Amino acid sequence: MNPETIHTYAIWAALAAAGLAVIGEWLHARRVARLGALAFGPSGRPRFWTRIVPLFRVLALAGLAWSLVTLLAYNNRSRERDKQANATRHLMVLLDVSPSMFLADAGEGGAETRTARAYAVLKSVLDRVPGDNVRFTAAGFYTEARLMVKECRDRELILHLTGGTPFHITYKPGKTDVLKSLNDAGEFMKDWNRKSTMLLVISDGDSAPPTGLKPMPSSVAEVIVAGVGDPGRGTFIDGHLSRQDTANLSQLSRRLGGKFYDCNNLHLPGDALRKLNSEDPGAGKWRTDRRMAALIVLATSAAVLCVVPLLLEFLGSSWRPRAAVSRDPQPRTVS
């Protein structure tokens, strides 16, 4: 089961436990009110500090339920220790693999194919990304988006996707569907940590409908759209003139809340990769993850539930009942 789903169940379990505890405290308070004089002496009341005990018991039971259900998400494992456990960021590459990407009008002289230019742009990005804490994922899109590589650390494997392989022959023929592909890519990234992902879209552009684009998941921190191909000179393919559609690519980047760069002659600037290359603010520092928080809450809640009865027993009331002393008269002797 997804840990996020279990986290939701843990919250509901805590609320249910708190509700039952409130009902139990209310019933207990009614009984104490009837037996106050017997339990606390002539005054009929315990010490003042005991009024907060019901609140602590409710919170402790809710915390106990939350922590126990939360720990189920770890499947009896103390911690992930595989090679991917240290990764803190993701680079999601969404590569245009439509037939127009094989047209030769890219680069400074216009002699490179758009795929070759995409290779150069992607290589420039990967060369400037630290590989120790970044996982790479790549998907190709044409009439739809298809995941090709998921969460790897091998740069060469990602670059191989731009090596000229005609992936478009495996797709259903048709027009490039950018919006559907972006929505599919969002599904690929939805389970990653919040604000941990940079989405890099490399394409020669295509028109996109004004509606139908879903918001990117919370895992996406930044979106970069890199255009390849000559934006001024077009080439005929499939009965229409194809060139880098800078207007549509720029509009698409704004709709995604990102930035557009014409990379036909230049590479992405260093500022565009600043967030991906910046040092993790939590690196080298102790950070409380959800599992550690659950363990702390579990220990605290259990301690409260164990200590409270002892405090109530010895410090809850100033009245101490004593055993009655027998004063029977001395037996008389008859002489």
Tens of pLDDT, residue by residue, the chain (335 residues): 556 677 888 999 999 999 999 999 999 888 888 887 777 777 777 888 888 999 999 999 999 999 999 888 765 554 444 444 445 789 999 999 988 888 888 888 888 899 999 999 999 998 888 766 788 999 999 988 999 998 888 888 888 888 888 888 888 888 888 888 999 999 999 888 888 899 999 998 876 777 788 889 999 989 999 999 888 777 777 666 777 888 888 998 999 999 999 998 888 888 888 877 765 544 444 445 788 889 999 999 999 999 999 988 888 887 776 655 556 556 555 55
Say whether 142 sits in a helix, a strand or coil: coil
The pairing of strands 112-113 and 134-141 is unpaired
Instruction: Tell me if 113 sits within 8 A of 166, measured CB to CB.
Output: no
Claim to verify: residue 101 and residue 54 sit in the same structural domain: no
Claim to verify: residue 254 and residue 299 sit in the same structural domain: no
- Number of separate domains in the chain: 2
Claim to verify: residue 29 and residue 96 sit in the same structural domain: no
Sheet containing 145-152: which strands, arranged edge to edge? Answer: 145-152, 134-141, 89-96, 197-203, 220-227, 259-262
Claim to verify: residue 49 and residue 99 sit in the same structural domain: no
What integer pLDDT is reported at residue 284 of this predicted model?
40
> How far is it, in rounded angstroms, from Cα 187 to Cα 90?
14
Say whether 66 sits in a helix, a strand or coil: helix
Say whether 147 sits in a helix, a strand or coil: strand
Claim to verify: residue 71 and residue 176 sit in the same structural domain: no
pTM over 0.85: no
Q: In the Cβ-directed half-sphere of 75, how many Cα atoms lie within 13 Å?
A: 4
What integer pLDDT is reported at residue 78 of this predicted model?
44
In the 8-state DSSP scheme, what is residue 13? H
Listed residue (297, 279, 278) closest to 288, CA to CA: 297
What integer pLDDT is reported at residue 282 of this predicted model?
46
Claim to verify: residue 65 and residue 93 sit in the same structural domain: no
Instruction: Tell me if 231 sits within 8 A of 265, measured CB to CB.
Output: no
Claim to verify: residue 104 and residue 210 sit in the same structural domain: yes
For CA atoms 101, 107, 110, 116, the dihedral sign is negative
Claim to verify: residue 73 and residue 220 sit in the same structural domain: no
Residue 325 included in any domain = no
Domain span at residue 45 reads 3-79+289-315
